[in-house]
Structure 1
Amino acid sequence: MDTATRWMDTTTRWIPPLGAGRRPAGRALLALLDDARAPRVCQVTGPAGIGKTRLLTWLATACSDPATPAAQRPDAAVSLAGATVRSATWSIAARLGVWARTPAELVAGLRAADRPWLLFLWDLNRSAEPEAVAELLVGPLSEVPRVRMVVESPGALPVAGQPAVLALDEARWTDAGRFASWYDRRRAGSPFSAEQVYPSPGLALLAAKVPAGAMLPAVGPVGPVGPVGPVGPLGPDVPAAWWASLPDEVRPAVGALTAAVRPLTRQEWAVLADPAAVERAVDRLPADSPAGDTWWLPVGPLRQVVTAGAAPLDPTDVARALAATVPRAADGAPDLLSADSDRLGLLLGQCVRAGMAEQLLEDPLFIACADPLAVAAAFGSHGDSPLRTAWQVAGPALLGEDAGASRAEILRVRLLEGGTDHTFPPVSGAPWHAEWFCGPAEADAPLVAAALGRGAFDGRILVADVTGGVHLVDLATGRLLDRRALVGPADLTALTCHPDGTVAAFGPDGEVRLLTGDLRLPPPATGRWTASAELTAVGDGTGTVHWFAPGEACAEPLHRGPVTALSGVLLPGDEAKARSLVVSGGADGRVRAWRPGLPPMPGSIAERARAVVSVSLTNTPSGLFLAMAWEDGLLRAVPVDRNGPAVDVRLGTPVRTVLATAPGDVVCVLAEGLARISLPAPVSFGATEGTDGEHL
């Protein structure tokens, strides 16, 4: 079925309607995505109001239907509005499931994946730093051989090769007849004809709001009529005519939009102007967003006309008006945790414009609760500080978390890392709390693995760095007790501590290295060992988990691809095999449970489209408690009886190892240190009888 036929086929795929005569442009984009010989970058361009953003958001919706052909299905569809280079990188990486804090890391991750990627990016001109985002992010992404992009930008893009360019002000992309019909349905009594506003939907929507009988200021027989489009027979200036037709009492409300740093909702707009006037203005000014729920005056002729005709607002007054809308606690202090994140972000942006953001940017709870995109933009023009450093390290996680209390705890981890948490106590209402943070024992030696101490190492954490040094950290306090207490192979991949205190490490070659004690494992039948548990259990590259005991052994294929993580506990009972419960994670993203000698438990405990990097199972008086981590940085803690809720945590950098240490307590090992987090009491871990593993 060719592209034109698929366009009309609604029996297998839903494609939303595309108004304003833009079906030729929509067809062209779908055909380009189907054409393997087409340039890898397509730029949708044109002047303000021409409908670039609406076309890209339509494309993202049209290509999200489950029946969409693979070549048209985007891996990421991202608005760049308000984003910096950093925050845009974080947003795109999160959509792609690739961890990255910088464009270079994102590019490296996409190259390493060696698979095709399709990105839809729009609102580049509305980003916090358009030129930098284009040069430092979009350009490098275009150099990745298997990346294709559709990018909306009014200006030239610094991309590799010659992009396909779809300039929406060219008549071939807008069906004139359909455009006229679309406009006439909205026109009412407007004196402007479809020919006078063709081919600009933005100009047409504005012209449709001009009432019958309005005076039409002429600009001469030739020349532009506003943001876009050819001159009509009367040569009218649509923005000027619209402004002239606006009642005097409504003009201050429209003028207030020139003071806004971003599009405003109806409620936000009513803070800056008389609410009654705003309600009237909403009916006269076309919405800025495709969804029709925000209004603004972006750079362009309409903004110029309004700025020239309306009294300017004092930026300080705007900031103070917004500050007055922040909820207050009983003691009169700002209740930031109850405040709307977007409203706090708007307040911050307006304070930056007014030159009065310093105090807000020194308040850790405020920057945790405010919209992360706005905070990233504000910090972009702010000097270095411990809080700025902590926020930027946590940034990828903050951007992906909606709840202010959870964002506050993520930030607390990074402030604990820097030793600057003394003014930022645990946050009430968060689903978890940071207890302590311990940095690496040696500078420039990232941590790679860890194990919970047993036997002679009870009460301590054994943590290994990239050099092979194994250091001891106090479990209760996070204090470093001993540097290089043991030495393993450089670049080791796993560390285990057995109940008798035996410590073993997996080298990069898959060989098991004994660091202390006694442990005997047979060589794998094929390939190499890839993961190890505290029990005598190992996983191999074929997805099989092997269990060993004196005089017996058994194995079970549990994963598609290598086993990447193992943990286990001994349950009540007499026979070693019956007592063992093994939990495994694999490169297939699945976490599974198995009791040696029995068939594997059906299904998966958890499954995601990312490789598992660590699992940790502990048996406590309250029941079994499991922590899991995937390669994209997600940590999930869950009571195994499945009656309690799972808690998802991201800390801003990938988790190397998780250690479930007690009911609701997890130690997360990151390259830059260890963090202990606890889940508050409301999480239920089941009754004591759950410790026999029956719920798995």
Structure 2
Amino acid sequence: MPRSRPGSDSPPGRRGNAGGAMTADPAARWSRPASGREPAAAALLAWLGDPGAPGLAVVTGAEGSGKSRLLAWLIGHGTRPGTIGERRIHGFVPLPGQTATTAAWMLGDQLSNAARSPGDLVAALAADPRRTVIALPELHGAEQPGPVVELVLRLAALDHVRVLVEVRSGTRWERALTAGPCARMDLDEPQWTDEARRASWDASHPVGPAGRAEQDPEPEVPFDLDDPVSVCAADPWSVTTAYERSQENHGGLRAAWLRAGASLTREKPAAERALVLRAALGDAGDPRLAAALDSAVRDASWAVVWHRVRGDVTPPWPGPVRSLVAGTGPLAGQLVVADHQGTVRVLDAESARSTGRLPHSAPGVRATADHGDGTVTVLDEHGLLHTQRAAESARPKGLAALLDDGPSAQERLLAAVREYAQRQRETVTALTGAGDRVVLGDAAGTVHVVSAGAEPRAAALHRGRVTGVAGTDLPVSAAGDTVLLLYTGGADGTVRAWAPHTDAMPEPVAARNCAVDAVAVATVDAGLVLAIAWADGLVEHRALDDDRLRTFHPGSRAHALAFTAEGDLLVGTDEALLRMRAR
């Protein structure tokens, strides 16, 4: 195995203390591996550090050769805080009993992305150029070794990804993994053991004549795949494996569980798991399941007001949601929803039934803004703004119409926004409407507030791309005076607050180790509420007046958030559109 070099890695963020500039804790020294495996350990460390080494390393050997112990040593040290970049293990999954899908869910959780399938995981890592090292012990014990091998080979084919796999020698899975370029280590070969050190180890770690006592496995709690309450109370990994093995529909439960499994397998109470399953259950499911789940979610932190999931027909699912806004003015009581192809639909907020569609699509939608007069602006992936009329506003009639033949206030605003955006050097990446103003975010992290007839305001709030902006008029006096309060999210993993008449707050409102996908804010009867969608699939609902925090994992990445006039939270993903009410 090749020689090592100093490595580079991600900045402090979604992968913990993996930064290449970080130094190791002097006190956290690496111990020697067990049983004289120093040569094997040195070779693995050299593989990790060699930029020219294959992306795949396969540790093999007969049963009992010490493969798992060697990987446990490497993973134990490689995942500690302070480990230098070139030795860092970013994700690992013990594979016994796992499928390719459940392995992808586990790795997605550890790597801060909302992977719902092996393909999602590969795509997410392909789009993220940071060095990533993954360890997968005991592939031969996987529930479906074949698909896991395919996943390993796809991951290892990415230039910036390293995959370390343990597999028993002589198996078809070993042959499949080692058929192409790889670094192979067979622990049955003598060069991987220092016999003198092994003898010293054995002398200081005696094993009784009976060997290590084996513990009886914990009895598995039985569950019924046709009973939603039963599966929500059972071990979620066992349920997932059982659904993957099954060829039956189970009244729609199987499809719903596998759709939201990346959330359902998280540690959570049965009521919260039932909530996620209820939100993923389509209208083709047995109606008795919905009734049972409605009863099971009474103690959950959310209630599902309505939901539309992939495949629904009454009313139809509106497609993958890429942007979402609750309408005002002529669009009050309606939702403006854009899909992945740029089609913009108008839906009834009470039922999600379609009430119309904008005539022109805008492929690559990033954001949508409602301007309060029936016009909607769509921001595309190139930073271009497309404004269309979604509903007719009340216009002057009779003599008033003859006297007022100039552009309206909103028309002047939109003209000012278009002119301002065209002058900017940075690509516009985020957009929202804010009454008589429009707010833009750009690729350099600056947020701009544009109004007609006034000097634009701008503030540099993020490092890197602004990914979401939202605003609300905050009451500041009994006379009804308000100020515009903005919340912005960025690829830097922070959410910041800014009132354009003053300086931005020095500290972020929220910060996590992954990017922000969307933000929404509203002033409701209970006070100020903020919603944040993170790139790892977490949705947070923060009541800012009393610091209450509710969370929800829909099971896939939430691309869009909005609040209804009543304060309900709207969540849009590639799989569903949800209206949720906080309890």
TM interval, short-chain normalised: 0.7 to 0.9
* Structure 2 counterpart of 1:158, from 176, 179, 201: 176
Residues 38, 472 of structure 1: CA spacing in aligned structure 2 closer, same or farther, 3 A cutoff? Answer: closer
CA drift of 1:46 comes to 1.4
The answer (yes or no) to whether the contact 1:416–1:436 under 8 Å persists in 2 is no
2:550 corresponds to which residue? 647
CA drift of 1:526 comes to 1.7
Residues 20, 431 of structure 1: CA spacing in aligned structure 2 closer, same or farther, 3 A cutoff? Answer: farther
CA distance in 2, matches of 1:577, 1:66: 49
1:38 aligns with 2:53: yes
1:489 aligns with 2:362: yes
1:369 aligns with 2:233: yes
* Structure 2 counterpart of 1:533, from 414, 427, 432: 432
- 1:508 is matched by which residue type in structure 2? E
- 2:155 is matched by which residue type in structure 1? L
CA drift of 1:653 comes to 1.7
2:276 corresponds to which residue? 410
* Structure 1 counterpart of 2:307, from 407, 428, 437: 437
Q: Deviations over 1:65-114 (max 9, x none)?
A: 33322111012122112111211122222222233333233222222223
Secondary structure of the corresponding residue to residue 54 of structure 1: helix
The answer (yes or no) to whether the contact 2:517–2:535 under 8 Å persists in 1 is yes
CA distance in 1, matches of 2:363, 2:51: 44
CA distance in 1, matches of 2:175, 2:271: 39
1:591 aligns with 2:461: no
Secondary structure of the corresponding residue to residue 80 of structure 2: coil
CA distance in 1, matches of 2:441, 2:74: 44
* Structure 2 counterpart of 1:423, from 292, 299, 310: 292
CA drift of 1:666 comes to 1.1
CA distance in 2, matches of 1:664, 1:171: 68
1:688 corresponds to which residue? none
CA drift of 1:438 comes to 2.4
Secondary structure of the corresponding residue to residue 36 of structure 2: coil
Query: Residues 197-596 of structure 1 correspond to what in structure 2 (within 5 A)?
Result: 205=207, 208-210=208-210, 285-287=212-214, 294-295=215-216, 346-348=220-222, 360-385=224-249, 386-416=252-282, 418-420=284-286, 421-425=290-294, 426-439=296-309, 445-476=319-350, 478-484=351-357, 487-516=360-389, 518=410, 519-520=413-414, 521=417, 522-524=419-421, 525-535=424-434, 536=437, 537-552=439-454, 553-573=456-476, 579-596=483-500
1:180 corresponds to which residue? 199
Secondary structure of the corresponding residue to residue 378 of structure 1: helix
- 1:174 is matched by which residue type in structure 2? T
CA distance in 1, matches of 2:309, 2:299: 27
CA distance in 1, matches of 2:317, 2:552: 26
CA RMSD in angstroms, aligned pairs only? 2.9
- Larger Rg over CA atoms: 1
CA distance in 2, matches of 1:646, 1:140: 38
1:65 aligns with 2:84: no
Q: Percent identity?
A: 32
The answer (yes or no) to whether the contact 1:505–1:512 under 8 Å persists in 2 is yes
CA distance in 2, matches of 1:33, 1:576: 62
Secondary structure of the corresponding residue to residue 74 of structure 1: coil
CA drift of 1:564 comes to 1.6
- 2:420 is matched by which residue type in structure 1? P
390-399 or 408-417: bigger deviation: 408-417
Secondary structure of the corresponding residue to residue 347 of structure 1: coil
Query: Residues 186-201 of structure 1 correspond to what in structure 2 (within 5 A)?
Result: 186-187=205-206
Residues 424, 402 of structure 1: CA spacing in aligned structure 2 closer, same or farther, 3 A cutoff? Answer: closer
1:48 aligns with 2:55: no
1:251 corresponds to which residue? none
Q: Deviations over 1:303-360 (max 9, x none)?
A: xxxxxxxxxxxxxxxxxxxxxxxxxxxxxxxxxxxxxxx86xx234xxxxxxxx7xx1
Query: Residues 74-223 of structure 1 correspond to what in structure 2 (within 5 A)?
Result: 74-134=89-149, 136-155=150-169, 156-159=174-177, 161-187=180-206, 205=207, 208-210=208-210
Q: Deviations over 1:526-556 (max 9, x none)?
A: 2332212231221122211111334322111
Secondary structure of the corresponding residue to residue 259 of structure 2: helix
The answer (yes or no) to whether the contact 1:578–1:595 under 8 Å persists in 2 is no
CA drift of 1:443 comes to 7.1
Secondary structure of the corresponding residue to residue 579 of structure 2: strand
CA drift of 1:639 comes to 1.2
CA drift of 1:403 comes to 3.1
Secondary structure of the corresponding residue to residue 389 of structure 1: helix
CA drift of 1:630 comes to 2.2
CA distance in 2, matches of 1:10, 1:672: 43
Secondary structure of the corresponding residue to residue 183 of structure 1: helix
2:21 corresponds to which residue? none
The answer (yes or no) to whether the contact 1:614–1:629 under 8 Å persists in 2 is yes
Residues 529, 141 of structure 1: CA spacing in aligned structure 2 closer, same or farther, 3 A cutoff? Answer: closer
Secondary structure of the corresponding residue to residue 57 of structure 1: helix
The answer (yes or no) to whether the contact 1:577–1:596 under 8 Å persists in 2 is no
Secondary structure of the corresponding residue to residue 136 of structure 2: strand
Residues 604, 84 of structure 1: CA spacing in aligned structure 2 closer, same or farther, 3 A cutoff? Answer: same
Q: Deviations over 1:153-206 (max 9, x none)?
A: 11315347332222222333333344334434454xxxxxxxxxxxxxxxxx4x
CA drift of 1:660 comes to 2.7
The answer (yes or no) to whether the contact 1:32–1:38 under 8 Å persists in 2 is yes
The answer (yes or no) to whether the contact 1:409–1:427 under 8 Å persists in 2 is yes
CA drift of 1:412 comes to 0.8
The answer (yes or no) to whether the contact 2:475–2:483 under 8 Å persists in 1 is yes
Secondary structure of the corresponding residue to residue 33 of structure 1: helix
CA distance in 1, matches of 2:156, 2:533: 31
Q: Deviations over 1:231-271 (max 9, x none)?
A: xxxxxxxxxxxxxxxxxxxxxxxxxxxxxxxxxxxxxxxxx
1:627 aligns with 2:493: no
Normalising by structure 1, report the TM-score.
0.69
CA drift of 1:370 comes to 2.2
CA drift of 1:383 comes to 1.6
Residues 121, 450 of structure 1: CA spacing in aligned structure 2 closer, same or farther, 3 A cutoff? Answer: same
The answer (yes or no) to whether the contact 2:97–2:143 under 8 Å persists in 1 is yes
Greater relative contact order (CA < 8 Å, ≥ 6 in sequence):
2
CA distance in 2, matches of 1:118, 1:147: 6
- 1:45 is matched by which residue type in structure 2? T
- 1:179 is matched by which residue type in structure 2? R
Residues 631, 142 of structure 1: CA spacing in aligned structure 2 closer, same or farther, 3 A cutoff? Answer: same
Secondary structure of the corresponding residue to residue 188 of structure 2: coil
- 1:434 is matched by which residue type in structure 2? V
CA drift of 1:25 comes to 2.5
CA drift of 1:366 comes to 2.0
123-132 or 178-187: bigger deviation: 178-187
CA drift of 1:505 comes to 1.6
* Structure 2 counterpart of 1:23, from 21, 25, 38: 38
CA distance in 1, matches of 2:508, 2:567: 21
Secondary structure of the corresponding residue to residue 306 of structure 2: strand
Q: Which has the higher strand share?
A: 2
Gaps of 5+ in 1: 188-204, 211-283, 288-293, 297-341, 349-356, 681-696
The number of residue pairs the alignment matches comes to 517
CA distance in 2, matches of 1:654, 1:563: 18
1:674 aligns with 2:577: yes
